Chains A and B, each alone.
Chain A
């Protein structure tokens, strides 16, 4: 029996000790009518060799196409040591560190993660992570409403340039608690939030303004002006940022005159493989004055009774297991394993490695945009600056083009038709340090051939 070590002799001895004749007797409190007779919908067991073969076949069927997809999940080199250590049984099969003395490894790891993320974002406090960037953004909105005592409106301004799935998750998560999300339009020429878009809110009660940098299009927002506007109008500023970009771009703690109040983002680029969308990790940071409003776990350093330094979960009174109905959130997890990978990744890459990764990614993206724009019928959609992702406009619908490319083993990017139809035939492309000039040339060539037949006619 898979994973069950009992022999017949064990079972006999145990039943005798309990004083019953069979295991079935132990279920005698359960009404007979509720007992399952058989589980027809579950197939018979496979052994490890068989499941290994099945999974290998399925994985191979999906292949390993050359991908230029970004849109919130980014392919970066992951040093071998990251997952070799993260999958050690002592990390992999450890529980939440409620018994601190038996969990100093995990607790110290979290403390190091908190420290690194705080430094990367330029913020004062970080928690032990959230489910992902989208849910972290939703929680940030809820937190801003709690923290912004002067505001009663629960209105959150959200740029249309914020990742469409993040906007949806915020709505699903927070609208039941009365938050109202209002969208800010963007400039279709430059791909960034219109500076004038905020003017109509002057004098109104706004709880928070969300700004994503780089935004969903890869474009660069005027974060200083937006942050200062928020603060001048009594709103908190929630920054949504890409952690790799922070090696080169100004961190949210330094935006505007006072810096962001809450900064969140998706930590996947830090040593977590794409794996079809998860598990990832959201990071969440804030100014120290708001620390009691931040959801999720936090680790603090303290002393033990012998005066030795050690680590423990702290500020738990905010959390569900104590506060119950009045908790800051119902969250009962942090993405422990992914946070472990991110901490090891950041340690192995260091500031230089991260800066190089960001720079090389940006260079490749520029090269990609340049190469593809040389194909007749393709041009950049926006005129402003971008970072490692950009939108191209095609002279025909994008979906069939992507299909043709996929048939050639290339995933060309994300069709924006379902998300931003006003942009016309728009394609979001991304290149990171993992792409070579040869890869880019292969894409350019395939795109050119795909678009050519129609043009020749």
Chain B
């Protein structure tokens, strides 16, 4: 059973979203995703200043057996990619919801309201349906 913090929002493609105090969003991959991938060997995060659209591929997480794209959950501008992950990709495995965040994004006006995000309960259901 993977860990699904109640205070976060989730996407169908196994990303989590946390709203920070200043309205910026912090995004990462869930415990389920990191477990499925296995030990991460490489993570590529987007550069600050990049504009992204909902559903756009903006990061890559790579293990020995798989490489997965990570998608922007909504329209906005990247404010930071986690600089720690270049040297320590395993941080994502160890702390997927804390130190292993992938990127921070400033949402465009109205984008958050329009975004296709689910609650922790709904994400739980998704995982149950997938057999986790």
Contact = CB atoms under 8 A, between A and B. Distances in A.
Q: Indicate yes or no for A touching B, C-beta below 8 A.
A: yes
Interface of A: 292, 314, 316-318, 322-323, 326
Contact of B64 (A316, A323, A326): A316
Contacts of A326: 67, 69
Contacts of B42: 292, 317
Interface of B: 41-42, 44, 62-67, 69
Contacts of B64: 314, 316-317
A317 B62 contact: yes
A198 B53 CA distance: 37
Contacts of B69: 326
Nearest to A321: B65
Contacts of A314: 64
19 contacts: A292-B42, A292-B44, A314-B64, A316-B64, A317-B41, A317-B42, A317-B62, A317-B63, A317-B64, A317-B65, A317-B66, A317-B67, A318-B67, A322-B65, A322-B66, A322-B67, A323-B67, A326-B67, A326-B69
Nearest to B37: A317
A304 to B, nearest CB: 15
Contacts of A322: 65-67
Nearest to B61: A317
Nearest to B47: A149
Secondary structure at chain B's binding surface: helix, strand, loop or mixed?
A: strand
Nearest to B41: A317
A258 to B, nearest CB: 21
A292 B63 CA distance: 13
Instruction: Give the one of A292, A317, A318 with max B CB within 10 A.
Output: A317
A175 B54 CA distance: 29
B40 to A, nearest CB: 10
A314 B66 CA distance: 12
A320 to B, nearest CB: 12
A316 B63 CA distance: 9
A150 to B, nearest CB: 11
A326 B64 CA distance: 16
A317 B60 CA distance: 11
Given A317-B67, A322-B65, 17 more contacts: A292-B42, A292-B44, A314-B64, A316-B64, A317-B41, A317-B42, A317-B62, A317-B63, A317-B64, A317-B65, A317-B66, A318-B67, A322-B66, A322-B67, A323-B67, A326-B67, A326-B69
A327 to B, nearest CB: 9
A147 B44 CA distance: 13
A292 B62 CA distance: 11
Contacts of A316: 64
Contacts of B65: 317, 322
B34 to A, nearest CB: 15
B98 to A, nearest CB: 25
Nearest to A316: B64
A430 B44 CA distance: 48
Contacts of B67: 317-318, 322-323, 326
A314 B69 CA distance: 19
A256 to B, nearest CB: 26
A314 B63 CA distance: 10
Contacts of A317: 41-42, 62-67
A158 to B, nearest CB: 29
Contacts of B44: 292
Nearest to A312: B64
Contacts of A318: 67
A326 B61 CA distance: 13
A328 to B, nearest CB: 10
A152 to B, nearest CB: 13
B84 to A, nearest CB: 18
A219 to B, nearest CB: 41
Contacts of A292: 42, 44
Nearest to A149: B47
A316 B62 CA distance: 10
A111 B64 CA distance: 19
A292 B64 CA distance: 13
A292 B65 CA distance: 15
B92 to A, nearest CB: 15
Nearest to A318: B67
A54 to B, nearest CB: 48
A292 B42 CA distance: 9
A317 B63 CA distance: 7
Nearest to B67: A317
A418 to B, nearest CB: 44
A322 B66 CA distance: 6
Contacts of B41: 317
The 5 closest A-B pairs by CB, nearest first: A317-B67, A317-B62, A323-B67, A322-B66, A322-B67
Contacts of B62: 317
Nearest to B57: A326
A292 B44 CA distance: 10
Nearest to A291: B42
A318 B67 CA distance: 7
A317 B65 CA distance: 6
Instruction: Give the one of B62, B65, B67 with max A CB within 10 A.
Output: B67
A257 B20 CA distance: 45
A317 B42 CA distance: 10
A323 B68 CA distance: 8
B36 to A, nearest CB: 13
A311 B44 CA distance: 25
B59 to A, nearest CB: 13
